C-alpha cells in the first residue's frame, strides 16, 4: 500500500517555518525533495540534539519535521544550481517555499518562472505576514507570530496565580504548525482543482492570517460585542472571570475537570465512586438529583459543592488514577501530561501511533509520534527517516540526467 499522494513530486525550499507542510505531504506518499543551501537548512541548527552535541544530522527537531524527504544541496546563489533547480521544478507537481518574500522571484525562481514550462505547477509560499502589505518584509519567529496573530493574548494567568504575568506562548512552534496546516489545506484544495482542470496556481500562505483565525471565540466576541476576552489560568479566555478547571492531584500533577456528572447516569457512577473512597457522603441529599443543579459556572450552590468535593477527591489521589476513573465513569476529564508522558499511555501503542526512527548518534530506533490520521486504504507511512544533509544530491541529480 502507498499513501494518497504517491506519484506526486514536491520540491521543498523551507526553513523551520514551512518544513511541517512538506512533512505532511511526504508522510502521505509524496516524493518530497528538500533543497538545502550548502550549510544546510537553518532548521538543522535547532535543537535538541542527540546527546546535546550539535550537528546538522543530529537535531531531533529536524528528524521529526523531515521524515520521508530526500535532501539535495543546491546553492541557489549560483546560476548553474539555479538552472538545476529549474529543471527539477519542471518535474514537480508542487513547490513549497518559506524564504523571504521576493527572494525567489529575484533569482528568476518565482512562480512565473517555474510555471512557464509547467502549467500544472502548484507553488505555495509560506511567510510570516504574506507576500504583500506593509509588514511583508518583516522577519518573524514563532513567538513574535503568536504575539501579533493573537493566540498569546488568549493564554495566561489569573492575577491570584501570577500577578502581572504576560500573555503566554504555548511551546512547540505552534505558530509554524498552524501555518503549515493551512498551507497543506491550500495545497490540497489546489490539487483537487488541478485534478479537474489540469491548471496549477500560486498560493500565498500567511502565518499572521492563519493564526488570526485560529483563536476560537476571540474574534466573535469582538465582532458581536466589541469585547476583548480576558485570559485566565488553564482555561478559556472569556468575557468575564469563570470557575477554575485545573485541580492539583496528590502527585502534584493537574487534573482538568470542567464539570461532574452533568447527566444522571454518569452522576450515579461518580457518586458511587466517591462514596466508595469515603467522599461525597452528602450527595444523597435529593437537592443534588436535579441535573440543572449540577451544571458548573452558573453560581449554583450544589454545583459549587460538587466541585469543592471533587477538588478534595482529586487532591487525595494520583492524577492518572483520577483521570482514568473519571473517564471510565463518562467524564471528559483529562490529566495535564508533559509531552513525553504520552509515551506511557498504552492506548496510543495499541493504535500503532508511536513509530521508531533512526539517525546519527542513536543505536537502534527512537520512538516519536506518527500518523495524525488512520487511512483505511492509503495509510500514513514512515518510509525513511529524515535525510542527512545532501544525502540524495547525487541520486536526484542523476535522475535529472
Partner 1 sequence: MTKLPLEGIRVCDLTWIIAGPTATRFLADFGAEVIRVEHGQAVDAIRLGRPIAGDNPTLNNSGFFNYFNRNKKSILLNVRHPDGMEVLKRLIAASDVVVENFSSGVMASWGLDYPDLRAIKQDIIYCSLSGFGHLGRDRDFVTWGPTAQALSGLTFMSGLPDKPPAGWGYSYMDHTAGYYAAIAIMMALHHRNRTGEGQSIDLSQVEAGIVLTGPAVLDRTVNGRSWRREGMPPGNRAWEPAVAPHNTYACAGDDRWIAIAVMNEAEWQALVQAIDNPDWALDPRFATNAGRLANQDELDARIEAWTSEFEDYEAMQILRAAGVRAGVCQAPSDRATRDPQLAARDWWHTLPHPEMGDCEFDGVVPRLSATPGTLRRGSPLIGEHTHAVMAEVLGMPEEEIAAHEAAGVFM
User: For partner 1, which is the closer residue by CB, 111 or 313?
Assistant: 111
287: which residues sit within 8 A by CB, 6+ positions away?
Answer: 293, 302
- For residue 28, report the phi and psi dihedrals to the nearest 5 degrees: -105, 20
The alpha-helical segments, DSSP class H, found in 70-214 are: 79-90, 103-106, 111-115, 142-149, 151-154, 174-197, 207-212
Q: Least distance from C-beta 307 to partner 1, angstroms?
A: 16
38 lies in the binding site for partner 1 (CB under 8 A): no
Quick one: which segment of 123-131, 286-294, 305-313, 391-399 binds partner 1 (CB under 8 A)? 123-131
Nearest to 397 by CA among 85, 160, 29: 85
What CA–CA distance (Å, rounded) separates 113 from 105? Answer: 8
Q: Least distance from C-beta 299 to partner 1, angstroms?
A: 16
Beta strands in 246-306 (DSSP E): 246-248, 254-256
What CA–CA distance (Å, rounded) separates 196 from 212? Answer: 31
One of 40, 56, 101, 150 touching partner 1 (CB under 8 A): 150
By CB under 8 A, the residues from 44 to 73 that bind partner 1 are 45-48, 50-52, 60-61, 63-65
By CB under 8 A, the residues from 266 to 325 that bind partner 1 are none
Cα-Cα end-to-end distance for the chain:
29
What CA–CA distance (Å, rounded) separates 171 from 167? Answer: 13
Quick one: which segment of 82-90, 102-110, 233-241, 389-397 binds partner 1 (CB under 8 A)? 233-241
> Cell triple for residue 305?
459543592
Contact 387, 69 (CB under 8 A): yes
**CA torsion, points 96, 100, 101, 102, in degrees to nearest 10?**
-100
147 lies in the binding site for partner 1 (CB under 8 A): yes
User: For partner 1, which is the closer residue by CB, 339 or 401?
Assistant: 339
Taking residues 358 to 377 in sequence order and writing x for each that binds partner 1 by CB under 8 A, - otherwise, the string is ----x---xxxxxxxxxxxx
11: buried, middle or exposed (CB in 10 Å: 19+, 13-18, 0-12)?
Answer: buried
Q: Taking the alpha carbons of 32, 38, 42, 43 in that order, is the dihedral positive or negative? A: positive
One of 306, 335, 389, 396 touching partner 1 (CB under 8 A): 335
User: For partner 1, which is the closer residue by CB, 235 or 317?
Assistant: 235
Quick one: which segment of 70-78, 79-87, 303-311, 329-337 binds partner 1 (CB under 8 A)? 329-337
264 lies in the binding site for partner 1 (CB under 8 A): no
Q: Least distance from C-beta 318 to partner 1, angstroms?
A: 14
User: For partner 1, which is the closer residue by CB, 170 or 291?
Assistant: 170
Q: Least distance from C-beta 323 to partner 1, angstroms?
A: 8
Quick one: which segment of 74-82, 174-182, 293-301, 389-397 binds partner 1 (CB under 8 A)? 174-182
329 lies in the binding site for partner 1 (CB under 8 A): no
User: For partner 1, which is the closer residue by CB, 82 or 231?
Assistant: 231
User: For partner 1, which is the closer residue by CB, 72 or 203?
Assistant: 203
Nearest to 226 by CA among 214, 218, 234: 218
What CA–CA distance (Å, rounded) separates 310 from 274? Answer: 9
One of 116, 222, 264, 395 touching partner 1 (CB under 8 A): 222
19: buried, middle or exposed (CB in 10 Å: 19+, 13-18, 0-12)?
Answer: buried
What CA–CA distance (Å, rounded) separates 229 from 221? Answer: 7
Quick one: which segment of 75-83, 96-104, 154-162, 391-399 binds partner 1 (CB under 8 A)? 154-162
Looking only at the bridges linking them, the beta strands covering 69-73 and 94-97 are unpaired
169 lies in the binding site for partner 1 (CB under 8 A): yes
By CB under 8 A, the residues from 179 to 198 that bind partner 1 are 181-186, 188-193, 195-197
Q: Least distance from C-beta 132 to partner 1, angstroms?
A: 7
Q: Least distance from C-beta 332 to partner 1, angstroms?
A: 5
Quick one: which segment of 222-230, 268-276, 307-315, 389-397 binds partner 1 (CB under 8 A)? 222-230
Quick one: which segment of 76-84, 239-247, 279-287, 289-297 binds partner 1 (CB under 8 A)? 239-247
One of 80, 265, 286, 347 touching partner 1 (CB under 8 A): 347
Amino acid at each position: 500500500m502507498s499513501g494518497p499522494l504517491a506519484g506526486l513530486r514536491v520540491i521543498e525550499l523551507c526553513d523551520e517555518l514551512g518544513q511541517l507542510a512538506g512533512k505532511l505531504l511526504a508522510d502521505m506518499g509524496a516524493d518530497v525533495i528538500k533543497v538545502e543551501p550548502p550549510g544546510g537548512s537553518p532548521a538543522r541548527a535547532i535543537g535538541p540534539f542527540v546527546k546535546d552535541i550539535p550537528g546538522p544530522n543530529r537535531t531531533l527537531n529536524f528528524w521529526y519535521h523531515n521524515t520521508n524527504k530526500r535532501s539535495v544541496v543546491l546553492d541557489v546563489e549560483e546560476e548553474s544550481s539555479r538552472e538545476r533547480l529549474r529543471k527539477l521544478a519542471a518535474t514537480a507537481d508542487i513547490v513549497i517555499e518559506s524564504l523571504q518574500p521576493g527572494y525567489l522571484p529575484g533569482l528568476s525562481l518565482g512562480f512565473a518562472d517555474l510555471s512557464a514550462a509547467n502549467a500544472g505547477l502548484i507553488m505555495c509560499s509560506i511567510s510570516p505576514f504574506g507576500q504583500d502589505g506593509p509588514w511583508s518584509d518583516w522577519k518573524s519567529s514563532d513567538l513574535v507570530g503568536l504575539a501579533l496573530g493573537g493566540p498569546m493574548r488568549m493564554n495566561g494567568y489569573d492575577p491570584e496565580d501570577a500577578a502581572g504575568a504576560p500573555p503566554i506562548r504555548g511551546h512547540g512552534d505552534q505558530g509554524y504548525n498552524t501555518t503549515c496546516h493551512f498551507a497543506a489545506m491550500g495545497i490540497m484544495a489546489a490539487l483537487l482543482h488541478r485534478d479537474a482542470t489540469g491548471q496549477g496556481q500560486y498560493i500565498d500562505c500567511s502565518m499572521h492570517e492563519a493564526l488570526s483565525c485560529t483563536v476560537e471565540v476571540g474574534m466573535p466576541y469582538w465582532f458581536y460585542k466589541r469585547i476583548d476576552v480576558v485570559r485566565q489560568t488553564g482555561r478559556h479566555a472569556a468575557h468575564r472571570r469563570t470557575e477554575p478547571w485545573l485541580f492539583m492531584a496528590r502527585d502534584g500533577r493537574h487534573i482538568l475537570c470542567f464539570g461532574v456528572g452533568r447527566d444522571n447516569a454518569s452522576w450515579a457512577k461518580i457518586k458511587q465512586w466517591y462514596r466508595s473512597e469515603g467522599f461525597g457522603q452528602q450527595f444523597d441529599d435529593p437537592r443534588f438529583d436535579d441535573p440543572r443543579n449540577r451544571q458548573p459556572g452558573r453560581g449554583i450552590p450544589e454545583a459549587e459543592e460538587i466541585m469543592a468535593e471533587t477538588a478534595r477527591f482529586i487532591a487525595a489521589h494520583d492524577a492518572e488514577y483520577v483521570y482514568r476513573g473519571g473517564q471510565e465513569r463518562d467524564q471528559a476529564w483529562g490529566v495535564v501530561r508533559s509531552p513525553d508522558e504520552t509515551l506511557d499511555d498504552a492506548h496510543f501503542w495499541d493504535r500503532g501511533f508511536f513509530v521508531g526512527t533512526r539517525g546519527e548518534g542513536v543505536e537502534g530506533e527512537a520512538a516519536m509520534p506518527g500518523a495524525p490520521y488512520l487511512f483505511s486504504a492509503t495509510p500514513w507511512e514512515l518510509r525513511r527517516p529524515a535525510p542527512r544533509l545532501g544525502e540524495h544530491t547525487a541520486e536526484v541529480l542523476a535522475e535529472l540526467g
